[in-house]
Amino acid sequence: MLETKLIADTLPMAVTWEDGDLFLLDQTQLPLATVIEKQETAEQVWESIRLLKVRGAPAIGVAGAYGLCVAMKGDTDLPLSDFIEKMDKQAAYLDSSRPTAVNLGWGLRRMVRTAKAAQVSTAAELYNVLVAEAIAIHEEDKRLCIGMGENGAPLIKEGMGILTHCNAGSLATSILGTATAPMYMAHNQGVKFRVYADETRPLLQGARLTSWELQQAGIDVTLITDNMAAHIMSQGLIDMVITGTDRVAANGDVANKIGTMGVAILAKHFGIPFYVACPSSTIDHDTPSGEGIPIEEREDYEVTEFGARRTAPEGIKVRNPAFDVTPNELVTGLITEKQIITAPYTENIKALFG
Ligand code: MRU
């Protein structure tokens, strides 16, 4: 398939379902080691999501859906009503692993809804329904990535400099990424452009993951630390910003990796378009504005240590919000699988996605 050829052959998939088992790439070990772990229990899947072994909004949506299958696999002998009761509990448990990316809850709710609507008489049959739905979510995510790539690629012109933040790449999704899908497609069409990847403190998704996957694809990528973005922009090196998102509120406010709002403010200052690649699975129609998006706060050690080496005084007070919310007025457009949406976002999101 063309879309799988766009990424490097050597790039491992974040999520794989093979012969009834779930395998997750441990992204915490990249780029130094490629370790793929079989997921045996709901607890293991919960921890893989919580520790960011699998991360990125679409990928955790897919991992959560398969995770429910892992959780229910050993219960096919239960009476159907007991199976359904346990499925509800396991879905809620898996959903509690991370709060900000809406895809996780979206995927799990879809799994439970589909299972409850299924006309089956045994738990074993219902388990098969769960597996089929998880595979459908996975396949659908691939199509969403391709759609964003097709719609976003024409924005990328010869010679452009593009800044991205965090990893909204293939590793964060089922195939081409969200922010990177237009990049992979433009690159495949022979367009020459440069990408600047923000390092993305504290967990370095830009350095460890984005620069790694784009480099393997042969895309011209330069790594910078987060605090270099203003300087690089001031030198006229950036023509466009494209990021991903973990949740888009109904009014177009965008939650993404901490630091994204700063990039958007800088982009406005320098008159640079700021685009967000956003599959429909990341739009939260039930949350009216960014104020309602839960922001994950993570452990202090992620800030007080660098590469497991202490870099701050013992006892220091720390804040570690993992995401921030960029107000919709700073967003030039949302690159979706259907089309690029521009302001007014509330009306246009509703018109396109209901
Ligand atoms: O904490 P992470 O690594 O899961 O954060 C991921 C991001 O912020 C991505 O930009 C977002 O999920 C979009 S992924 C296509």
Model confidence over 144-188: pLDDT tens digits? 999 999 999 999 999 999 999 999 999 999 999 999 999 999 999
323 CA closest ligand 1 atom index: 8
Per-residue pLDDT tens listing for the chain (354 residues):
656 678 888 899 999 999 999 999 999 999 999 999 999 999 999 999 999 999 999 999 999 999 999 999 999 999 999 999 999 999 999 999 999 999 999 999 999 999 999 999 999 999 999 999 999 999 999 999 999 999 999 999 999 999 999 999 999 999 999 999 999 999 999 999 999 999 999 999 999 999 999 999 999 999 999 999 999 999 999 999 999 999 999 999 999 999 999 999 999 999 999 999 999 999 999 999 999 999 999 999 999 999 889 999 999 999 999 999 999 999 999 999 999 999 999 999 999 998
Those residues whose C-beta lies under 8 Å from the C-beta of residue 120, and which sit 6 or more positions away, are 80, 126, 129
Mean pLDDT of the chain: 97
User: 47 and 186: one domain?
Assistant: no
Backbone angles phi, psi at 146, to 5 degrees: -65, -40
pLDDT, tens only, 89-147: 999 999 999 999 999 999 999 999 999 999 999 999 999 999 999 999 999 999 999 99
CA of 339 to the centre of ligand 1 (A): 21
Backbone angles phi, psi at 184, to 5 degrees: -60, -40
Helical spans, DSSP H, in 218-259: 229-234
Domain boundary among 130, 146, 162: 146
248 lines ligand 1 (CB under 6 A): no
User: 139 and 58: one domain?
Assistant: yes
User: 138 and 217: one domain?
Assistant: no
Q: Do 67 and 93 touch, CB atoms closer than 8 A?
A: no
DSSP result, 85-121: HHHHHHHHHHHTT-SS-HHHHHHHHHHHHHHHH---S
322 CA closest ligand 1 atom index: 1
CA of 38 to the centre of ligand 1 (A): 22
CATH number for position 315: 3.40.50.10470
Domain boundary among 146, 162, 191: 146
User: 339 and 253: one domain?
Assistant: yes
- Ligand 1 atom 8 nearest Cα: 257
Q: How far apart are CA 143 and CA 140, in angstroms?
A: 5
User: 245 and 291: one domain?
Assistant: yes
CA of 52 to the centre of ligand 1 (A): 10
User: 344 and 226: one domain?
Assistant: yes
178 lines ligand 1 (CB under 6 A): yes
Mutate to test the pocket of ligand 1, among 100, 212, 245, 258 (most ligand atoms within 8 A of CB): 245
Which range marks the domain in which residue 157 is found? 148-353
Those residues whose C-beta lies under 8 Å from the C-beta of residue 134, and which sit 6 or more positions away, are 17, 62, 65, 66, 68, 69, 111
What pTM, to 2 d.p., does this model score? 0.97
Domain boundary among 96, 124, 146: 146
Mutate to test the pocket of ligand 1, among 54, 166, 299 (most ligand atoms within 8 A of CB): 166
- Hey, what are 274's tokens? 């700021």
User: 314 and 256: one domain?
Assistant: yes
- Ligand 1 atom 5 nearest Cα: 56
Q: How far apart are CA 220 and CA 129, in angstroms?
A: 43
User: 316 and 170: one domain?
Assistant: yes
Report the catalytic residues: 246
User: 48 and 157: one domain?
Assistant: no
Number of domains in the chain: 2
CATH number for position 49: 1.20.120.420
User: 96 and 174: one domain?
Assistant: no
User: 138 and 214: one domain?
Assistant: no
CA of 191 to the centre of ligand 1 (A): 26
User: 99 and 217: one domain?
Assistant: no
